Structure 1
Amino acid sequence: MTKPPNPKPLLQDADKPVRSRPRKPRNPAQPNLPLDPMPDRIDPCLALLKPKPPKGPQWAFEVKWDGYRLAVHIEPSRVRILTRGGHNWTERFPAIAAEASRLPVATAILDGEAVVFDERGRSDFGRLQQSLGGRGGKRMSREAVLMAFDLLYFDGRDLTGTELTARRHLLEGLVPAGGEEAIRLSEEIEADGETLLRIACEHDLEGIIAKRRDSPYHSGRLGDWLKIKCIQSDGFAIVGYEKSTASFGGIGRLLLAARKGDDLVYVGGVGTGFNERSAAELREQMDKLIIGKPAVDTGRKRNTVFIDPKLVADIEYRAWTHDGKLRHASYKGLREVQDNTAVYELDPELSL
């Protein structure tokens, strides 16, 4: 019987001792963890708008929440809460920060949406804004709840290169389903996309989110996550308002514009969705920006005040008219000037 040869050390000179590869240096702030450095900030993965839900077992579905996108950084000696634009709003969400500090983890980054619920359990963007003191306000919101839907960093491990299924498994161990705390799990719903969208719309929810189960976490809007809405909701620049003595804040109708290339284009107006408080806050903001000539051509309007288009309104609408105007529009609130102020972009090829 032939004796097998002695194995040689793998990828080594046979005459040299075998040495293991040097380990990464440990982070002194996390002495017990083999390290992936904890990122200071991760640009969020954004959902691409689609008219219909995708099909196939590779897609997971959740409710679409209507609030502020947040990243909650749990660090060895502090908690930081960052907005989508990277602004530190830790002080503005004390209940979420306190709950984050109680989670059973040394270090983590949670991705989620801060929401305030109405009496029917639906997320309400207007209530969230009011709880924060309105646009540009500085109040703390003790009512806001973080609906956590992803885990990007966990006990010294960067999970952004890991598939969604594994990230969700770890998240569900950290934030159990069915909680009533200030951080709650945004649960995956076992249903096909079309059925879930129909149910969401019947319950007057904003829509649903679809996510590829096998996808790593990619910053930006690359199509790994999709959003399908019951009602369209986008940001439009306010270019003026029509006065009315019979309406809240004296605002009969807001005049709105979308972006088309480098220009703004008038897309109609909105006269519903205001209450006394939101209209008064909006009027105060607009009257600081009054200009003599309109920034865009709005056609002939009576009793109109034109403003510098620096305010971005969040508008719900059902569709577009044949001549490029919003149909069944309703005002939801002003978007924060320092965060999430994108103005809707029209197709440059579209003829209005």
Structure 2
Amino acid sequence: MTKPPKPKPLLQDADQPVRSRPRKLRDPAQPNLPLDPMPDRIEPCLALLKQKPPKGPQWAFEVKWDGYRLAVHIAPSGVRILTRGGHDWTERFPAIAAEARRLPVATAILDGEAVVFDERGRSDFGRLQQSLGGRGGKRMSREAVLMAFDLLYFDGRDMRQTELGARRHLLEGLVPAGGEEAIRLSEEIEADGEVLLRIACEHDLEGIVAKRRDSPYRSGRLGDWLKIKCFQSDGFLIVGYEKSTASFGGIGRLLLAARKGNELVYVGGVGTGFNERSAAELREQMDKLIIAKAAVETGRKRNAVFVRPELVAEIEYRAWTHDGKLRHTSYKGLRETQDDVAIFDLSGQV
């Protein structure tokens, strides 16, 4: 005699309704879903300087923007915009804050760079700083645009352990490519790194950034992100200036210093890159810091005025001389202490 077939799991008794196993009622005091708490602040992932772009499909490339690094925190309670050093600059970027409120998301943290573009569509650090009222200014910048390049928190989820490719996918859904708003996507460029760097330099851009597609978001300068510049640009302390009646602001040349361990070392000067406005603002700042004797040994200087080494200038340069002085220099602007700027350290460099 043939055995009857075994009943299907959901049909143990065809005459009885199918019911789930009774479960304990949900505690209404518990949240519906376990959410990751939004961090108050995240130390940024920083790009490590390299001379040549890396090779391989594991690397994604973007343009290197020349501005202020910002984190935009979006929550039901409001929007906060934090500088790299953790200072709250929400009120200074009203257009970016307003656009953040319009994004279709309840909670998020965007990582990006605030920039101001010139007539050719290039990010211009000097223009950004002028739009904020110069170093130490309190002006609001309505011209600044956030070029968003990472998504660190999204709809209740901490994304830092998620690989870059997935974070970018979600970011592109939140900030579509090709936008013209105050928050725009820093687009990934499909190209060979060396070709892209050459094109960037031909267009007078600062350089490119390479990022490992499979990397989590790790704070610090650990090599997951690399920067390759068309030219060198670093922060140097202003230790004085040479007066000139023929130059903007009466500044013939700034005198610069770098760190070497715990000491300061004179590294030459810069006499180009100023315009009438930036020179006037710089002179006003320096004249508040005048001292009788130079903080470092600068050699004999004619018509020199020495200042306390508190102002950090962003200087573009092409090379170093054999005796440790900067060559082919150009002044780009004063860095803000809120931007957590690094002063160039000569240790092991020249």
2:310 maps to which residue? Answer: 310
* Rg larger for: 2
Secondary structure, aligned partner of 1:305: strand
2:71 maps to which residue? Answer: 71
- Cα distance, 1:323 vs. partner? 1.2
Alignment of 1:143-154 (within 5 A): 143-154=143-154
1:95-133: CA deviations, max 9, x gaps?
000000000000000000000000000000000001001
TM-score, normalised by the number of residues in structure 1: 0.90
Alignment of 1:116-127 (within 5 A): 116-127=116-127
Alignment of 1:187-266 (within 5 A): 187-266=187-266
Alignment of 1:23-172 (within 5 A): 34-172=34-172
1:130-158: CA deviations, max 9, x gaps?
10011100010000000000000000000
Aligned partners of 2:149 and 2:185 also within 8 Å: yes
1:271-326: CA deviations, max 9, x gaps?
00001110011001101111111111111111100111000000001111111111
Structure 1: 5+ residue stretches without partners: 1-16
Provide the rounded CA distance (Å) in 2 between the counterparts of 1:224 and 1:346: 24
- Cα distance, 1:209 vs. partner? 0.1
Question: Between the two proteins, what is the percent identity of the paired residues?
Answer: 87
1:13 maps to which residue? Answer: none
1:43-62: CA deviations, max 9, x gaps?
00000000110111110000
- Cα distance, 1:231 vs. partner? 1.1
Tell which deviates more after alignment, 109-118 or 316-325. 316-325
Provide the rounded CA distance (Å) in 1 between the counterparts of 2:277 and 2:200: 29
Provide the rounded CA distance (Å) in 1 between the counterparts of 2:133 and 2:349: 40
Alignment of 1:15-26 (within 5 A): none
Amino acid at match of 1:44: P
Secondary structure, aligned partner of 1:338: helix
Secondary structure, aligned partner of 2:338: coil
Provide the rounded CA distance (Å) in 2 between the counterparts of 1:337 and 1:113: 16
1:195-253: CA deviations, max 9, x gaps?
00000000000000000000000000000000000011100000110000000000000
Amino acid at match of 2:153: Y
2:278 maps to which residue? Answer: 278
How many residues were matched structurally?
A: 329
Secondary structure, aligned partner of 2:278: helix
Provide the rounded CA distance (Å) in 1 between the counterparts of 2:33 and 2:316: 47
- Cα distance, 1:66 vs. partner? 0.2
Provide the rounded CA distance (Å) in 1 between the counterparts of 2:348 and 2:179: 46
Structure 2: 5+ residue stretches without partners: 1-20
Amino acid at match of 1:46: L
Amino acid at match of 2:327: R
Provide the rounded CA distance (Å) in 1 between the counterparts of 2:104 and 2:338: 33
Provide the rounded CA distance (Å) in 1 between the counterparts of 2:178 and 2:349: 47
Aligned partners of 1:33 and 1:155 also within 8 Å: no
Amino acid at match of 2:124: D
Amino acid at match of 2:263: D
TM-score, normalised by the number of residues in structure 2: 0.91
Provide the rounded CA distance (Å) in 2 between the counterparts of 1:205 and 1:274: 19
Amino acid at match of 1:306: F
Amino acid at match of 2:173: G
1:325 maps to which residue? Answer: 325
- Cα distance, 1:342 vs. partner? 1.6
2:345 maps to which residue? Answer: 345
Provide the rounded CA distance (Å) in 1 between the counterparts of 2:107 and 2:329: 43
Residues 154, 242 of structure 1: alpha-carbon distance in 2 compared, 3 angstrom cutoff: same
Aligned partners of 1:64 and 1:207 also within 8 Å: yes
